[in-house]
Amino acid sequence: MHEMSIALGLVEAVRAEMGRHDSKRLLRVGISIGELAGVDRQSLSFCLDATFAEEHWGQVGTEFRAQAVEVRCRTCMRCFQPPRDDFRCPDCQTAAVDVLSGDAVEIEWLEVE
């Protein structure tokens, strides 16, 4: 399951971050979901809860935020937010773009004690 492997990766990153700050308990976590990541928010939430339970972290609040897609035209270097599934540059109509953001699932913040 796609969402489960993402959940495991996120928990791994949380654990590393907590270790760096010597934190004992995770209270809440903020996660941004790129619109291109193809992640179902509900099933990711379910997988995270299951993983938190396995880690014996108790109740952890999760907050999700949608990350808009931003791309850069390779021809004229213009950055823009494409409408859904239309990646042509509004200036030069080239479809060759680099994705700058919106294709990943990332931890934005942690609340720990």
Q: Which is nearer to Zn ion, 37 or 89 (CB)?
A: 89
Q: How far is the CB of 71 from Zn ion (least distance, A)?
A: 10
Cα 99 to the center of its chain, rounded Å: 14
Binding site for Zn ion (CB under 5 A): 73, 75-76, 78, 89, 91-92
Alpha helix locations (H) across 1-113? 2-21, 41-54
Please name which of 61, 73, 69, 75 lies closest in space to residue 97, comparing C-alpha atoms: 73
Q: Which is nearer to Zn ion, 66 or 76 (CB)?
A: 76
Q: Which is nearer to Zn ion, 92 or 100 (CB)?
A: 92
Q: How far is the CB of 96 from Zn ion (least distance, A)?
A: 9
Q: How far is the CB of 90 from Zn ion (least distance, A)?
A: 8
CB 19 within 8 Å of CB 55:
no
